[in-house]
Amino acid sequence: MISSHTVIVLHAHPDDEAIFTGLTMRRLADAGARVVLVTATDGAAGIPQVPLPRGESLRSRRLAELERACELLGVARLEVLGYSDSGAHNGPYRAGTLGAASVAEVARQVARIAGREGASTVVHYDPRGIYGHIDHVQVHRVGAMVTRSLRLSGYQATVDAAALCAGPRHVLHGAAGDPMDVGVPASRISVTVKAEGPDLLAKMAAMATHASQVGAADLDPAGFAAAYGREWFVREGEPGALDALLAASTGQAAAVEGGSVNAYGPSERVVSAL
């Protein structure tokens, strides 16, 4: 029964949760699971796509965007670990960044959250962090360690490389140098979550909330479903919440009224200062 599951969804930066797992998180929440989002960094090394008002930092903007996205995606609790964004380079990484952090120490923090929440499942990334960014790779290492140490069901968020290359514009087309140098082959994918209308609207709304990073070109309604209407995962260990979700009835979709997505209330929030 999906309502018996608590799922830890571990991501690197604010906006990753909407781009790579927005459909899945909303579907889990609508089916009664408790969704706990753990975001490792503040995303402050990103390049803002919109002007910031005087006195507003990119860090504060991105955290505010993240909170709003959590409401749209049904997140029950948000934990921000407080590491600095490592930036898109090959190092060395300065102290305080996720790239420089001890994987074991970060894993201990996530394991404490998982234990306190009574989690059954952890979602993180594939071994390349989907497209090679050091913060994403660290999230994979941490997620895999937590999954193994606590003997939980694990799912590695990924993309179908061939489907991505054949489809319309996706944010990864700009983030990755070669759009085929991402994700995994289709033969390795264990679970595919497909949009069911309201889920896609929730995902689009959550991505649009991250306006400092996601531009209008990435939200083209004509190609959005083809680009973002599927989310892919490689299972680790025994089947868990995502398999239960797919086995459950699909009649629990979020309500849509007047063309807008009904939002959940504010999630509990914890921001750690390192």
List, for residues 1-16, the tens digit of each pLDDT value. 788 999 999 999 999 9
CA distance 111 to 29: 21
Model confidence at 259: pLDDT above 90: no
Residues in the chain: 274
> If you search the block for the tokens 């930066």, which residue do you land on?
13
4 token code pair: 């018996």
- What is the pTM for the complete model shown? 0.91
Model confidence at 253: pLDDT above 50: no
Most trustworthy range by pLDDT among 54-63, 162-171, 251-260: 54-63
CA distance 13 to 10: 10
List, for residues 117-127, the tens digit of each pLDDT value. 999 999 999 99
DSSP assignment string, 89-126: SS----TTBTTTS-HHHHHHHHHHHHHHHT-SEEEEE-
List, for residues 76-104, the tens digit of each pLDDT value. 999 999 999 999 888 899 999 999 999 99
List, for residues 153-211, the tens digit of each pLDDT value. 999 999 998 988 888 888 887 675 555 578 999 999 999 999 988 999 999 999 999 99
Model confidence at 217: pLDDT above 50: yes
Question: Phi and psi of 218, rounded to 5°?
Answer: -85, -5
Q: Which residues pair with 122 in a beta bridge?
A: 8, 154
> If you search the block for the tokens 């699971």, which residue do you land on?
33
Band of pLDDT at residue 254, cut at 50, 70 and 90: very low
Model confidence at 249: pLDDT above 90: no
Of the candidates 24, 16, 66, which has an alpha carbon nearest to the alpha carbon of residue 229?
24
Band of pLDDT at residue 245, cut at 50, 70 and 90: very high
> If you search the block for the tokens 């921001």, which residue do you land on?
271
Q: What integer pLDDT is reported at residue 258 of this predicted model? A: 33
Domains and CATH numbers, the chain: 2-271 (3.40.50.10320)
Q: What integer pLDDT is reported at residue 181 of this predicted model? A: 76
Task: State the Cα torsion 167-168-169-173 to the nearest 10°.
Answer: 20
**Percent of the chain beyond pLDDT 90?**
75
28 token code pair: 């889990």
Check residue 251 and report its DSSP letter: T
30 token code pair: 């609508």
